Amino acid sequence: MRLVADPADRRLLDDFQRDFPVTPHPFALLAEEVDLSEAEVVRRLNAMRQTGRITRVGGTCAPNTLSASTLAAVAAPADRIEGVAEIINDEPGVNHSYEREDDWNIWFVATGPDRTHVDATLARIEERTGLTVLDLRLVRPFNVDLGFKMDGTTNPVNPPAPRAADLDVIQPGDRDLMQALCQGVPIVPRPYQALAESLGRSENEVLDRISALSDAGILSRLGVIVRHRALGWRSNAMVVWDLPHDAITEAGPQLAALPGVTLCYERSPVEGTWPYRLYSMIHAKSREDALEVLDRASNLPALRGVDHKPLFSTRCFRQTGAMIADRRERA
């Protein structure tokens, strides 16, 4: 694992992955915590972004609130993997894509402002590649608050329970604000002021809306978004479990609470093609470590004897923020 040797850098990466300050000078508050100047915190975070240790300082949107998303996969012939991945990544709404060890070997997340946009994305990918696309829609989340600690453990060990989002708070302009947060705020002394200017709004208005969206559970996380592979979590396995819907009510929370499981949710199956409903992510320093977590998971009371398979990631093609607002429409 690539160690983060500097104690201040470790604090910046460890302590501020969530609950980032919503105040005019957030980096000044971080500076007080790590005993540095505001300018030095800004410099260090910009350097970590440029070197790929973090993707951004910004937010994540709760699934299917202000936007829509789905997990999808195609089975690309071995000699077409790069070309198919390029077609998939041509779609601006695709924010994550990976090659995984399975016949269904390219996995991606398609996002957009609504379900119609996501459906159109999947249809274009099917047409351009000539391949069937598995559309694996989210049914219910058990842990979607991904985080990592610089001591090599995943964080948090006991994940916060997913909250039901209050969509009644949504106001005009929130979609563009969330899009900007998902792309990342400027790492400057007054990031929210710079963000507000780019949106033609006031800093106070932006601060108020960020607080309201966070309180409503729509802005699910605001903080330093680390690039886990660059920081040592190089073994990434998506484990799928073949369980009926009712059994997942018991199994999902058990799996989500297991140390080493970084994400956990139920998705819809595809009849006759893909039976799996329960999904869990394991991020580890090595394949051996990941398999140890999987062994513990398969011995949980609700998962003993359950058919499952790990799909290890072999390549990351794209990792970026979700599409909340259609950039082409805004243009």
Position 252 confidence tier, pLDDT thresholds 50, 70, 90: very high
Tens-place pLDDT, residues 6-15: 888 888 988 8
pLDDT: which is higher, 287 or 321: 287
Dump pLDDT digits (tens) for 281-299: 998 888 999 999 999 999 9
Query: What are the CA-CA distances from residue 208 to residues 116, 220, 224 (Å)?
Result: 30, 16, 20
3-class state of residue 92 by DSSP: coil
Q: How many CB atoms lie within 10 A of CB 138?
A: 17
Q: What is the pLDDT of residue 156?
A: 47
pLDDT tens per residue across span 192-204: 999 999 999 999 9
CB 94 within 8 A of CB 110: yes
Handedness of CA 306, 307, 312, 313 (dihedral sign): negative
pLDDT of residue 2: 45
pLDDT of 228 strictly over 70 = no
CA distance 105 to 225: 26
329 pLDDT exceeds 60?
Answer: no
Q: Which residues contact 274 (CB under 8 A, 6 or more apart)?
A: 73, 104, 134, 136
Return d(Cα 155, Cα 176) in angstroms, integer. 29
Could you give the CA distance from residue 238 to residue 284 in angstroms, rounded to a whole number? Answer: 12
Alpha carbon distance 148, 55 (integer Å): 13
299-311: per-residue pLDDT in tens? Answer: 999 999 999 999 9
User: Residue 20's pLDDT is what?
Assistant: 95
Q: What is the mean pLDDT of the chain?
A: 90
Q: Are 106 and 99 in contact (CB under 8 A)?
A: yes
Pick from 119, 122, 93, 125: nearest CA to 324:
93
Question: What confidence category does residue 235 fall into, taking pLDDT thresholds of 50, 70 and 90?
Answer: confident
Q: Phi/psi class of residue 13: alpha, beta or left (left: φ > 0; alpha: ψ in -120 to 50)?
A: alpha
Q: For 12-42, what is the HEC assignment?
A: HHHHCCCCCCCCCCHHHHHHHHHCCCHHHHH
Express each pLDDT in 205-214 by its tens digit.
999 999 999 9
Q: What is the pLDDT of residue 13?
A: 86
Which range, of 31-35, 157-161, 192-196, averages the lowest pLDDT? Answer: 157-161
Burial of 108 from C-beta contacts in 10 A (0-12 / 13-18 / 19+)? buried
Residue 245, C-beta contacts closer than 8 angstroms, at least 6 positions apart: 139, 266, 277
Q: pLDDT per residue over 128-156, tens digit each?
A: 999 999 999 999 999 866 665 655 555 44
pTM, full prediction = 0.83
Query: Do residues 54 and 229 touch, judged by C-beta distance below 8 A?
Result: no
Residue-level pLDDT at 219: 94
User: DSSP alpha helices (H): ranges in the chain?
Assistant: 7-15, 26-34, 38-50, 81-89, 115-129, 174-183, 191-199, 203-215, 245-256, 287-298, 327-330
